[in-house]
Amino acid sequence: MRKSTFVKWKFRQAAFIARALASTDHVVLAHIIPMRRCNLACGYCNEYDQTSKPVPLDVMKRRVDKLAELGTSIVTISGGEPMMHPELDQIIRHIRSHGMIAGLISNGYYFTPDRIKRLNDAGLEALQISIDNVNPDEVSRKSLRVLDKKLRYLAEHADFHININSVIGGGIKQPEDALTVAKRAVELGFSTTVGVIHDGDGTLKPLTETEKQIFHSVKKLGNKDHARLNWFQDSIAEGKPYEWRCRSGSRYLYICEDGLVHWCSQQRGYPGIPLEDYTMEDFKREYKTEKWCAPTCTIQCVHQVGILDNWRDPQMTPVQIRREQKQKERVGQVLRAE
């Protein structure tokens, strides 16, 4: 990453954080899925298929327009494997044309020098690659040995921020691989984070003693900003529930390939409203709604968004929200009658 791009990136990060702290009336981060299909089939993953078609560009552009209308600061393209989408660059350009930060999550398989340069030209600003192990096995082929050449290409040609996420838990056989991956990431000049893999419904699988030790060593190596924001992980690693306010459905949105808004990748179906029909009323309701799955949730990015509002606006259970809504309606009826 060039020095000038790095400074611009830091400035844009500071600007979206300041805006998010100043006001709660906009989306901070949206994950958008242009393609559910993936070239891999990781054993712990419930976010891919092997047959679906790419979402057409004009449909993706309309979804991006709607996210801009909701005041979204960051749009991260995820999957499946989004690099398989034939018009990925145009989607990135469209995000940037609205002034939003454009991010990408990929398994890294499709990076070549030429492809990286085209992503530079499109205006990509941040990339995250998760690497699960050093050598491929039956659980995962997102492996350092397979991807090291791609990482070297990225180190040489990419003009965007790169974070390498290593993982612990979820059936990964050699937890010490996470440390090898993190060291290699630092060596190549990337930032690094570590995630605890969630199980099928997005909640916690307790770590073993060895996993815990490795987890803390990798965290020490990693990005200090992320480490500060991810203190919830210490509770999660201990297998303890963590108290926080999940703002998914409002400050964080997950838009699936069918264009529906979900709380997150692991809670698809709630609220399940088409993005084009999503209103500030939906946004406000979800902002206030306490999520039953929050205490054992391991989804890093939603935790980080939650921190921005954790100190304000306590949440209510869906039952309490419905009760409050009914009371408001009753008061409205009485006032109208009078």
Residues that bind ligand SF4 (CB under 6 A): 38, 40-42, 45, 47-48, 79-81, 107, 142, 202, 246, 248, 263-264, 266-267, 291, 293-294, 297, 299, 302
Q: In what order do the strands lie in the sheet with 271-274?
A: 191-196, 161-168, 126-131, 101-106, 74-77, 29-32, 252-255, 260-262, 271-274
Least separation in angstroms between CB 3 and ligand SF4: 32
Instruction: Give the separation between CA 181 and CA 321, rounded to whole angstroms.
Output: 45
Q: Which is nearer to ligand SF4, 139 or 227 (CB)?
A: 139
Q: Which is nearer to ligand SF4, 71 or 295 (CB)?
A: 295
Read off the tokens for 86.
């034939």
**Is residue 298 a contact partner of residue 198, using CB atoms and an 8 Å limit?**
yes
Q: Which is nearer to ligand SF4, 160 or 252 (CB)?
A: 252
Least separation in angstroms between CB 337 and ligand SF4: 40
Least separation in angstroms between CB 15 and ligand SF4: 25
Q: Which is nearer to ligand SF4, 81 or 159 (CB)?
A: 81
Least separation in angstroms between CB 254 and ligand SF4: 8
Q: Which is nearer to ligand SF4, 48 or 283 (CB)?
A: 48
Query: How many Cβ atoms sit within 10 Å of the Cβ of residue 295?
Result: 17
Bridge pairing between strands 271-274 and 260-262:
antiparallel
| DSSP per-residue letters across 200-236 | TTSB--PPPHHHHHHHHHHHHHS-HHHHHHTTHHHHH
Instruction: Give the separation between CA 188 and CA 284, rounded to whole angstroms.
Output: 42
Least separation in angstroms between CB 231 and ligand SF4: 16
Instruction: Give the separation between CA 215 and CA 175, rounded to whole angstroms.
Output: 8
Bridge pairing between strands 101-106 and 161-168:
unpaired
283: amino acid identity, one letter: F
Helix (H/G/I), strand (E/B), else coil: 176? coil
Least separation in angstroms between CB 194 and ligand SF4: 16
Instruction: Give the separation between CA 221 and CA 237, rounded to whole angstroms.
Output: 17
Read off the tokens for 121.
């030209």
**Is residue 23 a contact partner of residue 43, using CB atoms and an 8 Å limit?**
no
DSSP secondary structure code for residue 301 in this structure? H
Q: Which is nearer to ligand SF4, 1 or 28 (CB)?
A: 28
Q: Which is nearer to ligand SF4, 170 or 222 (CB)?
A: 170
**Is residue 47 a contact partner of residue 265, using CB atoms and an 8 Å limit?**
yes
Least separation in angstroms between CB 232 and ligand SF4: 10
Helix (H/G/I), strand (E/B), else coil: 273? strand
Q: Which is nearer to ligand SF4, 78 or 191 (CB)?
A: 78
Q: Which is nearer to ligand SF4, 1 or 82 (CB)?
A: 82
Least separation in angstroms between CB 61 and ligand SF4: 23
Least separation in angstroms between CB 227 and ligand SF4: 20
**Is residue 77 a contact partner of residue 93, using CB atoms and an 8 Å limit?**
no
Q: Tell me the residue ranges of DSSP E strands in 141-249.
A: 161-168, 191-196
